[in-house]
Structure 1
Amino acid sequence: MAFPTVETLEDCADFSKTVKPFIPQLYALPAKVLDVIARRESLLELYAETNPLISGFAISVVLGAVFLVVAEINRNYSQVDRAWSLLPTLYIAHFNAWARLAGISSQRLDAVLFFSTVWSARLTFNYWRKGGYSVGSEDYRWEIIRQYVPKAAFHIFNWTFISFIQSILLFALAAPAYPILLSSQFEPNLTSSDIAYTSIQLLLILTEWIADQQQWDYQNAKKQYRQSAKIPSGFKQADLDRGFITSGLWAYSRHPNFACEQTIWFVLYQWSCYATRNLYSWAGVGPSFLILLFQGSTWLTELITASKYPEYKAYQRQVGMFAPTWLGGYKIPPAKAPKVIRTSELAKKIEEKEKRKQK
């Protein structure tokens, strides 16, 4: 049996009732897959008989192995990055497809899949236009990390975090869809609260898109300015000379896109809590780990940026990393006025210097 027995909405987020009983399926799944392939039978029946949380987790482990092999062969460690914008949505589609096979109608899951599809479209487009899918493209931070980490240690880092943990994390981000799936037995129709959650998610995605576009326009203007020495329309020379964007949403948050990204998956988790009438649940593991991951990756990003641009430290002091610290926006530090030395002061210093020599 792949579907847990739940009696109340609250049970739908109970780890002991909805997850723990199905863990043995994970251990038995590889042998079952091989047996089905050997018998040349359809995998669809096995898919329907396996709990969707277990099969989804198993897929993330298999993909982790694929990412590992490809990364080691190509010596390129951005393999997970190329799939980042797609996998959470595919996992949510997996929960949706499994629900339909099980005869469970879920407008809530449809709404979750809708916002996630929009999220994937935005992130995939932005990653593509920045050259992320180009042959040999790799996150610049990996090269910097390799300079300071022993080769053997970096390979271990790839075998654990880069390939497997990140792959599993992408599944964990979508895991709150599982309690929502289970809750659909009790409330299959879309409610006003579900519409509100969907609207919040779309608003966050729109904010991400605006932040991405502002950054894209600035970087293109800076590139054009450095190549031609001509200031593009809508920009000031001082802004381009600074080297990093401080206008628009970036005047209030140093990483508005990162802030929205973390919030999107935390809101999905909260959506699952609301759907199951729980204040918290095990489904918060993925969003919580994502927030911790962003703390580390953003710290490294800013460390690199601050080493390149002198004014960045002043920007850090005024503007919050994710959430705005004040509504005034970024203010350019005033230039230090040169110290004026009066003629009388200069003569006095020369006189004192002569006296010291005579002594």
Structure 2
Amino acid sequence: MTLPIIKTLEDCADFSKTVEPFLPQLYSFPARLLDAIKGDESFLKLYATTNPLISGFAISLILGAVFLVAADINGNYSQVDRFWSLLPTFYIAHFDAWARLAGIPSKRLDLLLLWSTVWSARLTFNYWRKGGYGIGHEDYRWEIIRQHVPKWAFHIFNWTFISFYQSALLYSIAAPAYIILLTSRIEPEITSSDVAYLSIQLGLILTEYIADHQQWVYQSAKKQYQQSSRVPSGFKQADLDRGFITSGLWGRSRHPNFAAEQSIWFFLYQWSCYASKTLYSWAGVGAALLILLFQGSTWFTEYITSGKYPEYRDYQREVGMFVPLGFSSYKGPGVKVPKVIRTSELAKKMEQNKKQK
């Protein structure tokens, strides 16, 4: 049996019915994979007769081992980073392909794959233009961590968090697609709700693109200014001397791109909840862990940034990390908002002046 027997949409999100019965397949997967490598069993049969949630998770563990070996050989710990923008879409494509192979309606999964492909294209492009795929490129935070922890401790950190945990996380945020695959057996056609969720996802991706583009334009101008000592057109010297962007979306959120990124995977989970007519399910674990990761990662990034730029602490006090604190944009230190004088107050002050004369 490769898929659970379900009778209602609610059953599609039931862990005891849709996940737990297939866990033994995970334990037998290494032996079956070895048989496929030796030729005793075809890879297609292995793939088709393994529950897609289990096979997807097994793939994430195999990739974790690959990332681990590559990191130790190269001494570069950004191996997962190079695949971050690709793997969630790969896993959604896996569920889509498995559904087609099993003869399950895949229209709703096609929608997931559509926005996920757009998401991958945007993030991959942004990572590429920042030099992420360059030989030897590594996230600067890993070097800082290596300087503050023993070598053996960092190796444990690589084994547990960098390679395996992050690889499994990238799978878990895409796992709600499994629930949508199951619901497609009962409700195969695309609904207006599916279109609404698709629109939300594309809108969040557009928000990410705008935020990243604003950051790119600012950083490019700052680099040009530092090299030539000339202020590029459209910028003020004070803004570039500050060292970080505070305009556009960044004037209301310190990390608008991160806010949108977390929302994207949270809404995929919500999409699966709506499809299965449940308030919550096990599939929310991936989105929850991603949000926790962003909390810690963003805190560490801001800790470094606040040490580089004196004004950043003022920026932190006035602008929310992810969610805007108000409607106004960042004003900067020492910028006072003009006091609004009411007509009655003005008349009273004029009357007092007349009396004094």
Q: TM-score, normalised by structure 2?
A: 0.93
User: Are residue 90 (structure 1) and residue 90 (structure 2) matched?
Assistant: yes
Letter aligned with residue 214 of structure 1: Q
Runs of 4+ in structure 1 deviating by more than 4 angstroms, as ranges, are none
Report whether the alignment pairs 1:280 with 2:280: yes
Q: Which residue of 2 aligns with 1:35?
A: 35
Counterpart mapping for 1:204-353 below 5 A: 204-334=204-334
SS of alignment partner, residue 65 of structure 2 = helix
Give the superposition deviation at 1:36: 2.5
Deviation at 1:106, TM superposition (A): 2.1
Distance in 2 between residues matched to 1:39 and 1:159, nearest whole Å:
31
Post-superposition CA distance 1:20-59 (Å, at most 9, x none): 0000001111111212232354211110000000000000
Kept after mapping to 1: 8 A contact 2:32/2:41: no
Distance 2:31 2:163 in 1: 24
In structure 2, the CA distance between the partners of 1:246 and 1:34, relative to structure 1 (3 Å rule), is same
Letter in 1 for 2:128: W
Question: Residues 266-308 of structure 1, C-alpha deviation per residue, up to 9 Å, x if partnerless?
Answer: 0000000000000000000000000000000000000000000
Match of 2:353 in 1: none
The residue that corresponds to 2:123 in the other structure is 123
User: Considering only aligned residues, what root-mean-square deviation do their CA atoms show, in Å?
Assistant: 1.0
What does residue 48 of structure 1 align with?
A: 48
Cα distance in 2 between the residues matched to 1:34 and 1:334: 67
Tell me whether 105-114 or 34-43 shows the greater mean CA deviation: 34-43
Give the distance between the partners of 2:196 and 2:36, measured in 1 at CA: 43
* Cα deviations by residue, 1:60-97 (Å, 9 ceiling, x for unpaired): 00000000000011111000000000000000000000
Partner of 1:353: none
Q: Using the TM superposition, give the Cα deviation of residue 335 of structure 1 relative to its aligned residue in structure 2, in angstroms.
A: 7.4
Instruction: Evaluate the alpha carbon distance shift between residue 8 and residue 335 of structure 1 in structure 2; reply closer, same or farther with a 3 A threshold.
Output: closer
Residue 107 (structure 1) shift: 1.2
- Secondary structure, in 3 states, of the residue corresponding to 1:321? coil
Task: Identify the residue that residue 81 of structure 1 maps to in structure 2.
Answer: 81
Find the counterpart in structure 2 of residue 153 from structure 1.
Answer: 153
CA distance in 2, matches of 1:109, 1:269: 14
Q: Deviations over 1:141-194 (max 9, x none)?
A: 111111111111010000000000000000001000000000001111110000
Offset of 1:19 from its aligned partner?
0.3
Structure 1 residue aligned with 2:57: 57
Q: Deviations over 1:7-29 (max 9, x none)?
A: 10000000000000000001111
Q: Pairwise mapping of residues 97-112 of structure 1 onto structure 2 (< 5 A)?
A: 97-112=97-112
Provide the TM-score with structure 1 as the length reference.
Answer: 0.92
Paired amino acid for 2:28: A
Distance (Å, rounded) in 2 between the aligned partners of 1:256 and 1:297: 15
Structure 2 gaps, min length 5: 337-357
How many Å apart are 1:333 and its aligned residue? 1.2
Percent of pairs with identical residues: 74
Instruction: Write the letter of the residue equivalent to 2:231.
Output: I
Q: For residue 136 of structure 2, what is the aligned residue in structure 1?
A: 136
Q: Which residue of 1 aligns with 2:189?
A: 189
Q: What's the offset of the Cα at 1:120? A: 0.1
